[in-house]
Structure 1
Amino acid sequence: MDIGAYLERIGHTGPVRADAATLAAVHRAQLGTVPYENLDIQAGLVPSLHPDDLFDKIVRRRRGGYCYELNSLLALVLEDIGLEVTRVRGAVGPRDAEPPEWANHLALLVRADGRLWVADAGLGDGFLEPLPLEPGRYRQGPFTYTVEPGGDGTTWWIGHHGKAAVPGYLLDTEPRSAAYFEPYHRAKATSPESVFVRTLVAQRPFPDGSLTLRGNALTELAPVGKNTVLLPDAAAFAEVLSDRFGLTPDGADTAALFAKASAQTAEHLARG
């Protein structure tokens, strides 16, 4: 792992130590520079989770990814720094979902300065700094996140802020290997029923809001409210990807992606 190249990619210039301060700084920096996006899946590709391929895509080619990619890379970086990292499964969705859709999300538990932290760079519009795995409500900017035990000794509820795209996720603290997530990742990247196959998405969180592209609908959440516009053509679509998300889909047909995204939005609006 070329830590120097990764740190340059995320713009981190501070000290790098196996402590909570570095964990928070790297977490915030990755979320601030590496977007959540599924453009490869929309182009019919299955992104590789091999460490070399993750590094090439996200660091060298300056792309983003979704949870299996973004948190896999973050885990490798934090381990290389010297932190103790545990890969765990999550179930994004309502807290009372029956049954929970386990492993539709990969999250990380990181031990630093004697505490256990939830690190997550793959939630789309998620928390910018790690949350302690301790019961409580944690304020970050204008948003409040909730951490509550699930009652069975192994699960926790990680509650998102009220204006987020998802309500939160259940987290199972049992350690999982990187290989454990491969079949879930492949299913999410290929199944016609997968939301990642059905809908193009790119997201970035900010200290006081977030930016979400879903289909060709661009939504900006800011302190003054929420505003959504439909991108009118492929040129505007490419400009938003580049200027707002820092993305240039290498080798992808942007016009084809825009046409697909527009059709997705039209179908969504037709369903009401």
Structure 2
Amino acid sequence: MSTTTTHPSALWDSAPLDLPAYLGRIGHDGPLTPTLDTLRALIRAHLDAIPFEGLDSVLGRPVPIDIESVQDKLVRRGRGGYCHEHNTLFASVLDRLGFQVTARSARMLVGGDEHEMGPVGHTILSVVLEGVDWHVDVGIGNFGPRGPIPLVDGAEVSTGPWEYRMDRSARDHWVLRLRRPEGWFNLIQFTEEPCYRADIAVHNYVASTDPGSPFTQQIVVHHDGEDVRRTLNGLTLTTYRPGGERTRREIAADEVPETLRTVFGLALPEEHGRALVEFARSSAASPWAASLTA
């Protein structure tokens, strides 16, 4: 496998990226040419290897999103992250490989009405290949598509057994939906306006520090697998399978460190595990995170 790359752009500051270490972390040893097949393979490998989690926020630890910090956490230390971390890292990888990648900001719907304008705060990516604008998001948790979705009104795409649809709303926004047994489930909405590293930094600060953020209110850890998807929201461990089947059980606060290790592949320092146990014992449920298990 060759790791020869194009010159990185200033936008993503991808020069410090340790590309071989990242590829080792996700287990990708296939082609690196900037094609749609490569993009699909990288998305799948990234999601298989790196979970979605916001544990540093409940631990009261900072969540820096410069590329050195993000790759140290998600690549070298084997941790996960949330959207601003995942998509910053992934954009830097794509940029380094010669993809045309920019960022956008989205509004989380999580089943809500697309006509209700909630806050902008979720980071997503746009990758343009041969004139087609592809929506890419490796940082949305267990709901996320495991492949790119074209910005084409009415486009329906299966990423493995999970089906998605991209629609234009009455407000001329893009709305991404996930098929569930009861019908299409609204995930996010966004426009084609780009956002920049400074915008992502502001959204990241709010997500990691605001008392109203779901990531400061309770433990949130997800894994977006091919055939099985799992979430730990607070002390509720949920397993999702294609077709709508789901199982749910409550775990004890003392089970948190072992659950993170065995279910999500997260081995935290012992002191962090103890702190999470104490947090889980004392924290109240977050309405936003609770909706993720609905």
- TM-score when scaled to structure 1? 0.90
Q: Secondary structure at the match of 2:248?
A: strand
Asked whether 1:188 is paired with 2:207, we answer: yes
Asked whether 1:142 is paired with 2:161, we answer: yes
CA distance in 1, matches of 2:61, 2:179: 32
Q: Deviations over 1:42-82 (max 9, x none)?
A: 10022101111111111111111000110011000000000
CA distance in 2, matches of 1:97, 1:192: 26
Contact 1:216–1:265 (Cα < 8 Å) also in 2: no
Q: Which AA in structure 2 matches 1:120?
A: D
The answer for the alignment partner of 1:169 in structure 2 is 188
Going from structure 1 to structure 2, the CA distance change for 1:133 and 1:223 (only over 3 Å counts) comes to closer
Asked whether 1:18 is paired with 2:34, we answer: yes
Contact 1:19–1:113 (Cα < 8 Å) also in 2: no
CA distance in 2, matches of 1:124, 1:191: 20
CA distance in 1, matches of 2:49, 2:107: 25
Identity within the alignment, %: 31
User: Deviation at 1:233?
Assistant: 4.5
2:151 corresponds, among 126, 133, 138, to: 133
1:215 corresponds, among 217, 234, 242, to: 234
Q: Secondary structure at the match of 2:25?
A: helix
CA distance in 2, matches of 1:227, 1:18: 39
CA distance in 2, matches of 1:108, 1:33: 19
Q: Deviations over 1:132-162 (max 9, x none)?
A: 1112122233322110123555x31111333
The answer for the alignment partner of 1:124 in structure 2 is 141
CA distance in 2, matches of 1:152, 1:253: 44
The answer for the alignment partner of 1:232 in structure 2 is 252
Q: Secondary structure at the match of 2:61?
A: coil
The answer for the alignment partner of 1:111 in structure 2 is 128
Q: Which AA in structure 2 matches 1:100?
A: G
Contact 2:103–2:194 (Cα < 8 Å) also in 1: yes
Q: Secondary structure at the match of 1:244?
A: helix
The answer for the alignment partner of 1:34 in structure 2 is 50
CA distance in 2, matches of 1:150, 1:111: 22
CA distance in 2, matches of 1:196, 1:10: 25
User: Deviation at 1:118?
Assistant: 0.7
Q: Which AA in structure 2 matches 1:212?
A: T
Contact 2:217–2:286 (Cα < 8 Å) also in 1: no
Structure 1: where are the runs of 5+ without partners? none
CA distance in 2, matches of 1:218, 1:183: 31
Going from structure 1 to structure 2, the CA distance change for 1:222 and 1:192 (only over 3 Å counts) comes to same
Asked whether 1:85 is paired with 2:104, we answer: no
CA distance in 2, matches of 1:233, 1:158: 35
Aligned length: 264
User: Deviation at 1:217?
Assistant: 1.4
CA distance in 2, matches of 1:263, 1:63: 24
The answer for the alignment partner of 2:280 in structure 1 is 261
Q: Secondary structure at the match of 2:278?
A: helix
2:79 corresponds, among 41, 44, 63, to: 63
Asked whether 1:101 is paired with 2:119, we answer: yes
19-28 vs 252-261, which moves further? 252-261
Q: Which AA in structure 2 matches 1:6?
A: Y
User: Deviation at 1:100?
Assistant: 2.8
Contact 1:84–1:110 (Cα < 8 Å) also in 2: yes
C-alpha RMSD over aligned residues: 2.1
- TM-score when scaled to structure 2? 0.83
Going from structure 1 to structure 2, the CA distance change for 1:167 and 1:200 (only over 3 Å counts) comes to farther
User: Deviation at 1:207?
Assistant: 1.9
CA distance in 1, matches of 2:242, 2:128: 33
Q: Deviations over 1:86-121 (max 9, x none)?
A: 10000001243532311x100000012432211100
CA distance in 2, matches of 1:36, 1:196: 11
Q: Which AA in structure 2 matches 1:199?
A: Q
Q: Deviations over 1:139-195 (max 9, x none)?
A: 233322110123555x3111133379x830011211111111211211111111111
Structure 2: where are the runs of 5+ without partners? 1-16, 288-294
